[in-house]
């Protein structure tokens, strides 16, 4: 039903109207990984490459896509061109290079990739991806973890595994870092997935890959912290260790200090005043959240909104989201 309504709204010109109304605001698109085919069980942040290509073709035709740092600087000083847009990728998946870069080059669309610096080139993945892989690959028929809200959760079907993942990752995000790590380690052991593993579609970029992205002239990189921990769940010392050193490492590696970073997970409950202070202390003038919205002149520079793009977003609904129509229609209810 949502897809049908979105298609009807697109057909009568609703995205075009809201694109005009919001022409002085900045949509910042947030992608993660790309895949040739949808993953089974479903994984929201791994988008089929054909859908990505269609979306990038549309934004290239209807928006002025700027490098992120330029767009943010011009938003701040009041010189942002009308209908500007910026593209970002979180986490630093190798698919950004292998599948994403050819499409960015085809349409001459710049992008920023946010790297988890301690994971670059290691073969490891962010903890939430490790959780997905453990539940997707286990031979166990059920999963139990009181800390992760799993009470003999069935794993007999792909839909069961997807539900178990959504439940467990939601619970894990609410735990302090130490408790989360301990709960995940116990679950991995119970599922027989605590040893070495192949990251598959979740493989991270290497530093050579990062250099290849930089050589393209279209892609810049910036920090997504050292290990992708939820900063509001960390101690004061852990917050400082996640933010400043990641920025310094990346600056050294790429030969320039990025002027933006992205908070891991990035909801309002996932970063706090300590995280904002750590970003400011690192000398980074802009920071991105995952709070949905279009950035405008009144947006706090260290709490900028974005638009998350997942595998379940229909093309017609994508256009409503990017133009700000979807938020307006939700608010009118």
Q: State the sign of the Cα–Cα–Cα–Cα dihedral 238, 239, 242, 246.
A: negative
DSSP-derived secondary structure letter, 171: H
162's CB contacts (< 8 A; 6+ apart) are 41, 42, 43
- pLDDT in the model for residue 19: 85
- pLDDT in the model for residue 4: 62
Residues 145 and 47 in one domain: no
Residues 59 and 23 in one domain: yes
Residues 217 and 108 in one domain: yes
Domain boundary among 190, 221, 245: 190
- pLDDT in the model for residue 49: 98
Q: Would residue 160 count as lying in a domain?
A: yes
Q: Which residues pair with 93 in a beta bridge?
A: 204
DSSP-derived secondary structure letter, 90: E
Residues 243 and 298 in one domain: yes
247's CB contacts (< 8 A; 6+ apart) are 223, 257, 258, 261, 282, 283, 284
Q: Where are the beta strands (DSSP E) in 148-199?
A: 150-154
Residues 178 and 254 in one domain: no
Residues 225 and 251 in one domain: yes
Give the DSSP H/E element, type plus range, for residue 305.
strand 304-308
Q: Which residues pair with 261 in a beta bridge?
A: 223, 287
- pLDDT in the model for residue 303: 98
Q: Which residues pair with 26 in a beta bridge?
A: 295
Q: Which residues pair with 222 in a beta bridge?
A: 114
CA–CA gap between residue 247 and residue 213 (Å, rounded) = 18
Residues 226 and 168 in one domain: no
- pLDDT in the model for residue 17: 86
- pLDDT in the model for residue 333: 45
Q: Would residue 302 count as lying in a domain?
A: yes
Residues 61 and 77 in one domain: yes
CA distances to 19, 326, 332 from 15, in Å: 6, 9, 16
Q: Would residue 196 count as lying in a domain?
A: no
Q: Would residue 16 count as lying in a domain?
A: yes
| Length of the chain measured in residues | 333
- pLDDT in the model for residue 5: 57
Residues 185 and 209 in one domain: no
What is the count of structural domains for the chain? Answer: 2
Residues 70 and 148 in one domain: no
3-state secondary structure of 86: strand
Domain residue limits at 156: 127-190
Mark the ranges of the chain whose per-residue pLDDT is less than 50.
Answer: 333
CATH code (residue 208)? 3.20.20.370
List the one residue out of 306, 218, 316, 320 whose CA is nearest residue 32: 306
- Burial state string for 188-219 with b = 16 or more CB within 10 A and e = fewer than 16: bebbebeeebebebbbbbbeebbeebbeeebb
- pLDDT in the model for residue 299: 97
The whole-model pTM stands at: 0.95
CA distances to 11, 44, 50, 308, 309 from 7, in Å: 6, 21, 19, 20, 17
User: Are β-strands 84-91 and 28-31 bridged in parallel, bridged antiparallel, or unpaired?
Assistant: parallel
Q: Would residue 195 count as lying in a domain?
A: no
Residues 206 and 266 in one domain: yes
Domain boundary among 190, 219, 241: 190
pLDDT in tens, 111-138: 999 999 999 999 999 999 999 999 999 9
- pLDDT in the model for residue 3: 62
Residues 15 and 144 in one domain: no
- pLDDT in the model for residue 328: 83
Kindly state the tokens that stand for 54.
Answer: 């269609």
């Amino acid at each position: 039903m949502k897809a049908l309504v979105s298609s009807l709204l697109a057909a009568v010109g609703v995205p075009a109207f809201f694109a005009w109304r919001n022409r002085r605001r900045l949509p910042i698109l947030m992608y993660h990984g790309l895949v040739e085919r949808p993953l089974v069980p479903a994984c929201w942040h791994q988008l089929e490459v054909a859908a990505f290509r269609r979306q990038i073709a549309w934004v290239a035709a209807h928006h002025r896509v700027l490098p992120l740092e330029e767009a943010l600087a011009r938003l701040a000083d009041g010189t942002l061109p009308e209908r500007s847009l910026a593209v970002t990728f979180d986490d630093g998946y190798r698919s950004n290079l292998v599948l994403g870069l050819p499409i960015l080059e085809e349409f001459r669309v710049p992008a920023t990739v946010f790297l988890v610096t301690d994971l670059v080139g290691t073969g490891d993945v962010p903890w939430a991806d490790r959780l997905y892989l453990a539940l997707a690959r286990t031979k166990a028929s059920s999963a139990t973890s009181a800390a992760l809200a799993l009470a003999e959760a069935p794993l007999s079907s792909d839909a069961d595994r997807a539900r178990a993942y959504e439940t467990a990752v939601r619970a894990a995000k609410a735990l302090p870092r130490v408790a989360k790590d301990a709960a995940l380690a116990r679950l991995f052991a119970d599922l027989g997935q605590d040893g070495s593993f192949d990251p598959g579609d979740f493989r991270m970029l290497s530093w050579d890959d990062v250099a290849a992205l930089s050589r393209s002239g279209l892609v810049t990189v910036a920090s997504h912290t050292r290990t992708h921990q939820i900063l509001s769940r960390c101690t004061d010392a852990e917050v400082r260790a996640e933010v400043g050193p990641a920025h310094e490492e990346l600056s050294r590696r790429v030969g320039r200090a990025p002027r933006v970073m992205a908070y891991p997970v990035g909801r309002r409950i996932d970063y706090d005043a300590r995280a904002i202070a750590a970003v400011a202390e690192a000398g980074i003038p802009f920071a991105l959240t995952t709070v949905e919205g279009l950035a405008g002149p009144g947006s706090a520079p260290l709490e900028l909104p974005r638009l998350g793009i997942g595998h379940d977003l229909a093309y017609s609904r994508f256009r409503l989201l990017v133009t700000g129509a979807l938020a307006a229609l939700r608010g009118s209810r």
